[in-house]
Structure 1
Amino acid sequence: MASASSPPPLHLGQRLDLDAVRSLVSSVNRHVHRFLSDAAARKSLQLRCGRALAVSHQAFFEFSEHSVLSNLYWGIENIEVALQCHCRDGWTQRLAASEKMLQMPALLDEVGSTAGVDNRYLVCCSYFYLALVWKLRRDEWQMMMHLLQSLLVSPNCFRKELAPGLWRCLFGSLMSRTEDEEEVEEIARQHVRRYKDWLMYYQVVSYGETPPWNKERSGADHGESEAENYQ
């Protein structure tokens, strides 16, 4: 049985039982909660993303390309504003605005670039921040699916910039097996696809019921949807 404090071991092809899925969701949930609770960490990542989104040195670019970068920037900013809201309506509206803005860069073709910024970076960041939106709404399944999609798009970006601590928790053992970054990325992608498949499976079989990973919330998780818990 998987430990409640650590994600399931990495064995491709092995069935993930419900305890392993709960362990995976619980581990990711704790990491995301800690990140949202750390204003300095949030600001640091926001500044790094902002620098990456700064208009490139290209002499010309399509207005629509600038719009994509702008939507990602303001989508991230709206999460920060939501976290400062003291009324439920403001919180809800800001998260809705953030989701709408982040969906635009998330739909980019992963191949190519936009206004000089690599599309994989843009899509990876978009899904990561969409995961935060769903975490704040207390929908852990949507949080997981968006976070795993972020990992799938660019394991390297996720590992080095967005969530290195969470990466180490999920895939740290891979680094001890090989130093080849491309090999590590491909193995990580295989595990992410496996995680997504089993999350989909348990979501379907629990249709109409409380999702199994929500049934045993710890006291620390209770009431996390309120903004003051992250201020």
Structure 2
Amino acid sequence: MTLQEITRSSPARSQLTAGFRDILPLAVGVGVYGLAFGLLAAQAQMDGLQTGVMGTIVFAGSSQIIAVERLVAGAGAGAALLAGLALNLRLLLITASLRDEFAGRPWWQVLLGVHLVTDENWALMHAMRARGRRTGYWYLVGGGLGLVAVWVLTTVAGASFATAVPEPKALGMDFAFTAAFIAILRSLWSGSAMLLPWIGSIAIVLLAGLLTPLDPSWTLILGGLSGAAIAGVLGSD
């Protein structure tokens, strides 16, 4: 199905619109830490255009935050990239659970769906199904489009504002990384099933940081890998 055919398809169009509409209340929270990330990106000498391009291509809040934080801390680009990837390994479990939605679709639709899937629109799709609503691939994509629009707009706004402020630290912007990361962690919590993966990940980071000479970037990578492994063994999404 091409883009032109999608616009002519009433079921696909209605699901796309419904997903976009339904995600907007959740997108408010995404916008809050999007602004915070924009402030942080400015500290890494990124302008509004660079921040917007990164948000569109990467579109992974926690990974972007930890990667930029590592760059600001002086870590190399490779370590920052690996830390960001490790933190978002949980998305492998989420996308694996969408095999029925992706089955039989052309490659570009699969890539689009994989790129746009997040904790929020994935959870919303299943919540609406539990209420008896018919939701599927295009509902997921509609929600993802709503989130990426809010994310890019707010991150660009935050970066543009920060570059206009002579002394960002004077306004407490140096705490933005911590505040944004706390907000993202809170949004990722989905119940007691998350407890063991989180505890295991935190324990690995603390032990590696205290008992080994590893750079903090590598302890974060170990923590992300161990948390994803625990979640996979337990069957947690």
TM range (shorter): under 0.3
TM-score normalised per structure 1? 0.28
- TM-score, with length taken from structure 2: 0.28
With CA pairs under 8 Å and 6+ residues apart, which has the higher RCO, 1 or 2? 2
